[in-house]
Amino acid sequence: MSQIEIPAALAKSVSIARSVVVLTGAGVSAESGVPTFRDAGQGLWAKYDPMRLATPEAFNADPELVSRWYDMRRQAIASCRPNPGHQAIAELEERVLQRGDRFTLLTQNVDRLHHSAGSRRVVELHGTLWKLRCVQCHAETEDWSAPLRTIPPRCECGGLQRPGVVWFGESLPDEAIDAAYEAIEDCDLFLTIGTSAVVYPAAGFSQIAHAHGAPIAEFNVGETPISSMADWSIRAPSGVALPALLAAAFNSRAPRRRGAR
Ligand code: BV8
Ligand code: ZN
C-alpha cells in the first residue's frame, strides 16, 4: 500500500472532473534517469549554462558545440524508459476519456517519454529533441539516432539541422500555445507536476487556470513560485505520488463507464 496520503477532496475531484489539464516538467522524467534541465549542465558540461546553450544565438555562434550538447542529452535519454509517474498520467488520460470527459497533457519535456508511456493527448510546448529541423529548407524530420550520425547534423539539401525544440527567446509553436490556452480555459481540474514553474509562458498556466476557477494540485518534491496558489501540494516524487493518486481516485477499480458512478 502506498504511504502517500492523497487528500480525499483531491481524489474526488479527479474522479468527477469533466475537463482535466496536466502540465509536466522535467521532474516527471527525473525517476527515469533523465537529467532535469538544470542538471543537464553537470559533469563535463558544468562550465556551460543550459540557459545559454538552449538559444538560437548559441547555435548560430557554435553549431558544433550546441549539437554536441544535444547529442549528449539524446544519448543519455535513449536508454531511459517511462516511470510509474508517466504510466499513471497515461492511465488517467484513458480513464477520463473513457468516461466521456476531456483530457489534455501539456508537457515542457522534450524526451517523448509520455508518448512511450501511452499518452496520446500530448501538447509538446517546447518541441522534442527527437526531431531535427533544417535551418535552410526548414524540413523537419524525426531522428532517433544516438549518437547523431554527424555533428552538426546535415539535411539532404546540405543545410545545418538544429534540434526541433523551442529555445529561449523563441516563441512556442502557434498550435501548441492555442491548444494550451483552449484546454486551460476549459478545465475544471489542473495538475502541475514536476516543474519549477520559472519558464514562461508555461509558468503562467497555473495562474490562468486559477483565474478560471479550476482547483490546482501541485506534485513536486519541493516548493515552487506557484505552490501558494495550489489547493493541494503533494510533496513526493511523482513516480510514487501519481500511482497513489489514481489508486485513491479510482480505488484501483477497472476504468468506469459514464453513468456507472
Ligand atoms: C517565449 C527546450 C515569446 C530546450 C526549454 C515572461 C517573463 C519572464 C521571462 C519571459 C517571459 N516570457 C518569455 C520569457 C523568456 C523565457 C523565460 O521564461 N525565461 C525564464 C528563465 C525567466 N521564455 C522564453 O523564451 C519562451 N519563449 O515566451 O516566446 C517571448 C520571447 C522572448 C521574450 C519574451 C517573450 C521559450 C521557453 C522555452 C525554452 N526551452 N526547453 C531544451 O530542452 O534544450 S525550457 C526548459 O527549461 C524545459 O523545457 C523546462 O520548461 C524549463 C525548466 O527546466 P527544469 O528546471 O529542469 O525542469 P523543471 O522546470 O521542470 O524543474 C524540475 C522540477 O521538478 C523542480 O521543481 C524539481 O523540484 C522537480 N522534481 C525533481 N524531481 C522530481 C520533481 N518533482 C516530482 N517528482 C520528482 N521525482
Ligand atoms: Zn534542408
Residue 53's domain is classified under what CATH number? 3.30.1600.10
pTM of the model: 0.94
Does 68 share its domain with 24? Answer: no
Residue ending a domain, choose from 117, 146, 165 = 165
Q: Is 171 in the pocket of ligand 1 (CB under 6 A)?
A: yes
29 and 41 assigned to the same domain:
no
**Ligand number nearest to the C-alpha of 155:** 2
Are 157 and 229 in a shared domain?
no
Distance 88 CA to ligand 1 centre (A): 23
Q: What is the pLDDT at residue 2? A: 53
What is the residue range of 96's domain? 8-33+82-126+172-250
For residues 111 and 233, membership in a common domain is answered with yes
> Is-catalytic flag, 126?
yes
For ligand 1, atom 36, name the residue with the nearest CA: 168
User: Is 96 part of a structural domain of the chain?
Assistant: yes
Q: What confidence score (pLDDT) does residue 3 get?
A: 75
139 shares its domain with 122? no
Q: In three state form, how does the secondary structure of the chain look?
A: CCCCCCCHHHHHHHHHCCEEEEEECCHHHHCCCCCCCCHHHCHHHCCCCHHHHCCHHHHHHCHHHHHHHHHHHHHHHHCCCCCHHHHHHHHHHHHHHHCCCEEEEEECCCCCHHHHCCCCCEEECCEEEEEEEECCCCCEEECCCCCCCCCCCECCCCCEEEEEECCCCCCCCHHHHHHHHHHHHHCCEEEEECCCCCCCCHHHHHHHHHHCCCCEEEECCCCCCCHHHCCEEECCCHHHHHHHHHHHHHCCCCCCCCCCC
Residue nearest to atom 59 of ligand 1 (CA): 195
Residues 29 and 40 in one domain: no
Residue nearest (by alpha carbon) to ligand 1 atom 65: 27
Domain for residue 207, yes or no? yes
Number of structural domains the chain divides into:
2
26, 43: one domain: no
Ligand 1 atom 75: residue of nearest CA: 27
Tell me the CA–centroid distance for residue 75 and ligand 2, in Å. 24
Ordered per-residue pLDDT tens for the chain, 261 residues: 457 899 999 999 999 999 999 999 999 999 999 988 777 777 777 788 888 999 999 999 999 999 999 999 999 999 999 999 999 999 999 999 999 999 999 999 999 999 999 999 999 999 999 999 999 999 999 999 999 999 999 999 999 999 999 999 999 999 999 999 999 999 999 999 999 999 999 999 999 999 999 999 999 999 999 999 999 999 999 999 999 999 999 986 544 444 443
| Cβ of residue 196 lying under 6 Å from some atom of ligand 1 | yes
Do residues 84 and 242 make contact, with C-beta atoms less than 8 angstroms apart?
Answer: yes
Phi-psi bin for 147: left (phi > 0), alpha (psi -120 to 50), beta? beta
User: Mutation test of ligand 1: which of 51, 106, 168, 205 has the most ligand atoms closer than 8 Å to its C-beta?
Assistant: 168
Catalytic residue among 86, 114, 115, 126: 126
Q: What is the pLDDT of residue 152?
A: 98
Cell numbers linked to 66:
550546441
Q: How far apart are CA 114 and CA 85, in angstroms?
A: 9
168 Cα–ligand 1 center, Å: 8
Same domain as 133, residue 246 = no
For residue 74, being part of any structural domain is answered with yes
Write the residue with the smallest CA distance to atom 51 of ligand 1: 108
Does residue 183 sit within a domain?
A: yes
CATH number for the domain that contains residue 218:
3.40.50.1220
228 and 242 fall within a common domain: yes
Closest ligand 1 atom to 39 CA? 57
- Give me the pLDDT at residue 1, please: 45
Angle, CA of 242, 89 and 95, to the nearest 5°: 105
Measure 192 CA to ligand 1 centroid, in angstroms: 13
Residue 23, all three cell numbers: 502540465
86 within domain boundaries: yes
Q: Is 16 in the pocket of ligand 1 (CB under 6 A)?
A: no
257, part of any domain:
no
Residues 43 and 137 grouped into a single domain = yes
Instruction: Tell me, in angstroms, the distance from the centre of ligand 1 to residue 51's CA.
Output: 9
Let me know whether 52 and 115 are in one domain: no
Q: Which residues pair with 123 in a beta bridge?
A: 106
Do 108 and 204 fall into the same domain?
Answer: yes
